[in-house]
Amino acid sequence: MTNTGNKDTRSGFGAGLYELGTINPNVVALCADLIGSLKMEKFAESFPDRFFQTGIAEANMMGVAAGLAVTGRIPFAGTFAEFATGRVYDQLRQSVCYSQANVKIAASHAGITLGEDGATHQTMEDIALARALPHMAVVNPCDYNQTRLATLAAARWEGPLYLRFGRPSVPNFTPVDGPFEIGKAWMIQPGEDLTILATGHLVWEALEALKILAQKGIRAELINIHTISPLDEKAIIESARKTGAVVTAEEHLVTGGLGEAVAGLLARHNPVPMRMVAMEEGFGQSGTPRELMDLYGLNAAGIVAKASELRLR
Amino acid sequence: MNPKTPHSIPDLTSQIRRDIVRMVTAAKSGHPGGSLGSTDFLTVLFAEFLDQDPAQWRRDGQNTDMFFLSIGHISPLYYSLLARMGYFPVKELASFRQLGSRLQGHPSVENGLPGVHVASGSLGQGLSIACGAALSKRLAGDPHRVYVLMGDGESEEGQVWEAAMFAAHHKISNLTAITDWNGQQIDGPVDEIGGVGDLNAKWTAFGWRVLECDGHNPDDIRKAYRMAAEAGDKPVMILMHTNMGQGVDFMTGSHKWHGKAPSAEQEALALAQLKETLGDF
């Protein structure tokens, strides 16, 4: 798997959304004063009747989206991940999920890689919030190509869906045509010695980690968990049975993230030693994305360190 | 006059008020005050204005008017009205707030109750949803209207004013919002609790066409609904002046019956004031 050139995942969303506009007249989009940030310009300019600028009023945006969904549209409501979860939690709960409204939440600038803006905007809690909601699918693609495919797939998915992506330019390495299926884990590299389950920006870091681990004689299995809810339980349990050790990797707090989702699953079905690459606690801070990923250990070296801990037991 | 029901408005409202009192008493919980206060104008809306065939009701509201209840706590009125209009069997009213019922304490869509498009109960969210539905109708070239019922206390929620700004900005003129202006909320009179103040001035300032109406006078109510549906480029707010608890003398005009069930003795006192016209459930 090679990097075909750095790109931001939000542009993958923008490209996918525009494609949806051309092929599905029911797809509509809303944005709370962040059209440029979410790369929604092309959809907004090409389909002005189907685009709704809501202004800086996210709670209203989620409600308007629910009304559009109930009447048969497929709305994509875009804002930053922090405002798409924390600010509007009750709207997501009652107007969207409990009302069974087919709303797609487009949550950009997720995680620590938002960088210089600092902790007010760097949500590291959004996966936990989104996956706690009944009926809400949670999808966290890893690069431009996968975010585009996830956007296209989200429109076909029946029900509320939280689509999480980011701002920084990162390696674009997954094949342009997938494979990608919501709810189905993607086996990137089979291995015997331990399992790495990675999501979002940490998938590229995990690929880098595989090379280092191989040099140490560790044949790790890498699975991309792009869909955190519903979790591909079968794939995770099978891999844990095979390798007997699991490292999870995500750009999120430990609390409520992929790692805890996997730990809960394996505790019920097949407990194995685990380590989690995730931010341990607290809020982030200003810095470049790279500096922050390195500071909090959300990188290849962090994955190698946790994998080595499991191997040295 | 009433395309959906052979019954007169007074017969309907008397029976619906009986249903409300009996449902809340049986459930030993619920919100009778606002339910009784909104009965007159909501019954006129459903019986004479809402273009919707109860037997053909669809959740997506295609090619019909749509009604959204933002103040989900007045579910006793909502359920009774829907049942009396033929959306579901009247006998189902006996299941209000019971385990396994479609008539949840606050409206839900999980069990497919006809007439209910979305869940409500957590306040402040209905106007936004109605805006979305109205935009959808505009997009589809569907000339039908979208109605939403809100509360005066509810307008303390910030989202209401986000939606107010949005609706005017997007010229959502196929929308009639109604505020039940009864002046009461759970903790006391609205003017003492939240400082809602002059709702007419506020909605006018937000770019809405505002009508005021006696929410217990059927002719005044009809006039307001007709005026609201006239062509224009603004969303319309009807401020319905009502008494919380209207129809039961000891409940009228007080916040104390906002969310309290009557005792058996109080139920008897209330029912003695409300004629059984269509047969109790």
* A92-151: pLDDT as tens digits: 999 999 999 999 999 999 999 999 999 999 999 999 999 999 999 999 999 999 999 999
> Which residues does chain B have within 8 Å of residue A64's beta carbon, measured at their own beta carbons?
128-129, 131-132, 135, 163, 166
> Which residues does chain B have within 8 Å of residue A54's beta carbon, measured at their own beta carbons?
166
How confident is the model over A263-288, as a mean pLDDT? 97
How confident is residue A1, by pLDDT bands cut at 50, 70 and 90?
confident
Contact of B270 with B9, CB cutoff 8 Å? no
Look over chain A and give the mean of its residue pLDDT values, rounded to a whole number: 97
Question: Is A72 within 8 Å of B135 when comparing Cβ atoms?
Answer: no
Nearest-neighbour CA in chain B from A227: distance (Å): 25
How confident is the model over B12-27, as a mean pLDDT? 98
> Which residues does chain A have within 8 Å of residue B137's beta carbon, measured at their own beta carbons?
71
Q: Is B238 helix (H, G, I), strand (E, B) or coil?
A: strand
Residue B104 has pLDDT above 70, yes or no: yes
How confident is residue B4, by pLDDT bands cut at 50, 70 and 90?
confident
Please list the alpha-helical segments (H only) found in A2-77.
9-23, 41-46, 58-70
Tell me whether A55 touches chain B (CB under 8 Å).
yes
Question: Is B125 within 8 Å of A50 when comparing Cβ atoms?
Answer: no
Residue B5 has pLDDT above 90, yes or no: no
Residue A291 has pLDDT above 80, yes or no: yes
CB atoms within 10 A of CB B112: 11
How confident is the model over A57-74, as a mean pLDDT? 98
At B182-221, the pLDDT tens digits run 999 999 999 999 889 999 999 999 999 999 999 999 999 9
What does the pLDDT read at residue A288? 97
How confident is the model over A39-56, as a mean pLDDT? 98
Name the residue of chain A whose CA is nearest to B72's CA. A94
Name the residue of chain A whose CA is nearest to B66's CA. A71
At B138-193, the pLDDT tens digits run 999 999 999 999 999 999 999 999 999 999 999 999 999 999 999 999 999 999 99
How confident is the model over B107-130, as a mean pLDDT? 97
How confident is residue B258, by pLDDT bands cut at 50, 70 and 90?
very high
Q: Is B52 helix (H, G, I), strand (E, B) or coil?
A: coil
Nearest-neighbour CA in chain B from A55: distance (Å): 8
How confident is the model over A161-190, as a mean pLDDT? 98
Question: Is A98 within 8 Å of B119 when comparing Cβ atoms?
Answer: yes
Nearest-angstrom CA–CA distance, B116 and B68: 8
Residue A207 has pLDDT above 50, yes or no: yes
**Helices A202-215, A300-311: crossing angle, 10 deg rounding:** 50
Question: Is B132 within 8 Å of A94 when comparing Cβ atoms?
Answer: no
Contact of A223 with A188, CB cutoff 8 Å? yes
Tell me whether A68 touches chain B (CB under 8 Å).
yes
Residue A240 has pLDDT above 70, yes or no: yes
Give B141: exposed, middle or buried? Use CB within 10 Å, 0-12, 13-18, 19+.
exposed
Encoded tokens for B12: 């309907």
Per DSSP, the residues of B97-118 read: T-TT-SS-SS--STT--TT--S
Query: Is A58 considered catalytic here?
Result: yes
What does the pLDDT read at residue A311? 78
What does the pLDDT read at residue B3? 64
Nearest-angstrom CA–CA distance, B61 and B52: 9
Residue A173 has pLDDT above 80, yes or no: yes
Residue B1 has pLDDT above 50, yes or no: no
Q: List the end-to-end C-alpha distance of chain A, in Å, as a whole number.
A: 31
What does the pLDDT read at residue A249? 98
How confident is the model over B94-122, as a mean pLDDT? 97
Handedness of CA B9, B13, B19, B22 (dihedral sign): negative
**What CA–CA distances, in Å, run from A153 to A87, A137, A157, B13?**
26, 12, 6, 49
In a 13 Å sphere around the CA of A283, the CA atoms on its Cβ side amount to 9
Residue B101 has pLDDT above 80, yes or no: yes
Question: Is A99 within 8 Å of B133 when comparing Cβ atoms?
Answer: no
Contact of B239 with B14, CB cutoff 8 Å? no
Residue B2 has pLDDT above 70, yes or no: no
How confident is the model over A1-27, as a mean pLDDT? 97
CB atoms within 10 A of CB B272: 9
CB atoms within 10 A of CB B148: 27
Encoded tokens for A163: 């689509």
Look over chain B and give the mean of its residue pLDDT values, rounded to a whole number: 97
The residues in A 206-245 lying below 8 A from B, measured between CB atoms, are none
Nearest-neighbour CA in chain A from B88: distance (Å): 20
> Which residues does chain A have within 8 Å of residue B68's beta carbon, measured at their own beta carbons?
67
Nearest-neighbour CA in chain A from B9: distance (Å): 30
Active-site entry in A19, A45, A58, A116: A58
How confident is residue A313, by pLDDT bands cut at 50, 70 and 90?
low
Encoded tokens for B63: 């090619």
Cα-Cα-Cα-Cα torsion A278, A118, A85, B207, nearest 10 degrees, comes to -170
Nearest-angstrom CA–CA distance, A42 and A31: 13
Q: Is A227 helix (H, G, I), strand (E, B) or coil?
A: strand
> Which residues does chain B have within 8 Å of residue A75's beta carbon, measured at their own beta carbons?
132
Nearest-neighbour CA in chain B from A152: distance (Å): 22
